Amino acid sequence: MGRAEVGTPKYLANKMKAKGLQKLRWYCQMCEKQCRDENGFKCHTMSESHQRQLLLFADSPGKFLHNFSKEFSDGYMELLRRRFGTKRTNANKIYQEYIAHKEHIHMNATRWLTLSDYVKWLGRTGQVVADETEKGWFVTYIDRSPEAMERQAKAERKEKMEKDDEERMTEFIEKQIKKAKSKDGEEDETQEKYTELKREEEQPLKLDIRLEKKFQPESILGKSALLTKRTANESDEKVFKKPKPVPMESSRSALDEIIKQEEKKKERANRKDYWLHPNIVVKFISSSMGEKFYKQKAVVQEVIDKYRAKIKFLDSGEKCKVDQAHLETVIPALDKEVLVVNGAYRGSEALLKRLNESKYCVTIEILHGPLKGRIVENVQYEDICKIHGT
């Protein structure tokens, strides 16, 4: 039976069938030919052109396999970069969009047997960040283009400058505090020391009072001259009036205001919606895994993409990956070390000093860094966590 004529319904039906995706088992990657049924694929494998392609493949199979694998990987990564960027995406979703194009390289022509093997290979080579969940494999593209590297370098330089400014401001504040303390000490030393009045019982009390004659200018200069002199002196005092010294209380209040502003600025910069840190003790509060793990304590071994962590239960020693929504912080006993996991002093180690159960907050003392020794009050429970091993 001959081919259908151009423009006939059968011709259009054949064109529509050939346009869409068809069964993979009837596709020949070497010849890049898609057959419609088993009989057509059998006829194609017996054709002379297919036999020539198989002879070429037999001469250098590694070369063809490498080329197919490279073309498949390049197409997959290009779609990931252009379509999804650096967002965390399901690997199978990207693969479905890739194979939607008819002229794509099929997976069975590459050196990877499954999509999971390919995603693991991408993670090992450092092209993506791959993580396995209950919904399958997820990938996050790592952008190493010159533009992205330049943007990252600029962001790091800006962050370093902000940190340098914060360090300089903290040093300035510390100097001002030391200076104010030293001035208070000098004032205490210069103050007059009064002694107790003591006398013997039989000794009479003597008062040595010396009265001096006051100078009376009215008798010499007269009232009119005295008035003119006083008015002249008052006018001079108005012109050359000395400024009053600023009291120490006002300087301290200004210093406290500077410290509050800096803490507010650090609070805005370091307050995040994620708080997980390695080597902290957390409590598992989800009942999805049964009563065995409910409200059990675990240590965070590794943080995955900021919001998930790999934890190890302290009692059973079992490990699992969980989201931060299923965890909560653990408050240790007083005078124990904690880690500030969120807020202005994020990442700082501190000592737990006081506990305010009515307001659900604590008072801590910073242990390391330029702010060592600073007492921070009204820190919320969820902003600190116990350190494992302390």
* Superfamily of segment(s) 22-141: DNA/RNA-binding protein Kin17, conserved domain (1.10.10.2030)
**Mean pLDDT of the region 58-71:** 82
pLDDT > 60? residue 221? no
Q: Cα 203 to chain center, whole Å?
A: 80
Q: 69-117 pLDDT, tens per residue?
A: 888 899 898 988 888 888 899 999 988 888 877 677 877 788 888 899 9
**How much is the pLDDT for 283?**
92
Q: Tokens for 209?
A: 């009072």
β-sheet with 361-366: strand ranges across: 375-380, 361-366, 349-356, 337-340, 384-386
Total number of residues shown for the chain: 390
**Mean pLDDT of the region 254-274:** 78
CATH architecture of the domain with range 331-389? Roll (2.30)
> Cβ of 307: how many Cβ atoms within 10 Å?
14
**Mean pLDDT of the region 229-235:** 53
pLDDT > 70? residue 126? yes
**Three-class secondary structure of residue 117 per DSSP:** helix
**Mean pLDDT of the region 122-129:** 88
Do the beta carbons of residue 108 and residue 118 sit within 8 Å?
A: no
Read off the pLDDT band of 364 (50, 70, 90): very high
pLDDT > 60? residue 255? yes
What's the CA gap between 141 and 93, in Å, rounded? 14
What's the CA gap between 281 and 298, in Å, rounded? 6
Do the beta carbons of residue 373 and residue 318 sit within 8 Å?
A: no
**Mean pLDDT of the region 117-145:** 88
0.75 exceeded by pTM: no
**How much is the pLDDT for 239?**
46
Say if residue 300 is exposed, middle or buried (CB neighbours under 10 Å; 0-12, 13-18, 19+).
buried
At the topology level, CATH places domain 274-330 in SH3 type barrels. (2.30.30)
Q: Are strands 281-284 and 128-133 parallel, antiparallel or unpaired?
A: unpaired
Q: 166-216 pLDDT, tens per residue?
A: 787 888 888 888 888 887 666 555 555 556 666 666 666 666 666 655 555
**Mean pLDDT of the region 42-55:** 80
**CA R_g for the chain:** 41
Q: Tokens for 46?
A: 């017996």
**Three-class secondary structure of residue 72 per DSSP:** helix
Say if residue 118 is exposed, middle or buried (CB neighbours under 10 Å; 0-12, 13-18, 19+).
buried
Read off the pLDDT band of 23 (50, 70, 90): low
The reply to whether domains 22-141 and 331-389 share a CATH topology is no
**Mean pLDDT of the region 320-334:** 89
What's the CA gap between 138 and 202, in Å, rounded? 101
| Terminal Cα-to-Cα distance of the chain (whole angstroms) | 85
**Mean pLDDT of the region 250-268:** 72
* Of 371, 296, 292, residue with least CA distance to 326: 296
* Average pLDDT taken over every residue of the chain: 78
**How much is the pLDDT for 240?**
47
Q: What is the domain partition of the chain in residue ranges? A: 22-141, 145-173, 274-330, 331-389
Say if residue 139 is exposed, middle or buried (CB neighbours under 10 Å; 0-12, 13-18, 19+).
buried
Question: Among the ranges 143-157, 228-242, 328-342, which has the highest mean pLDDT value?
Answer: 328-342
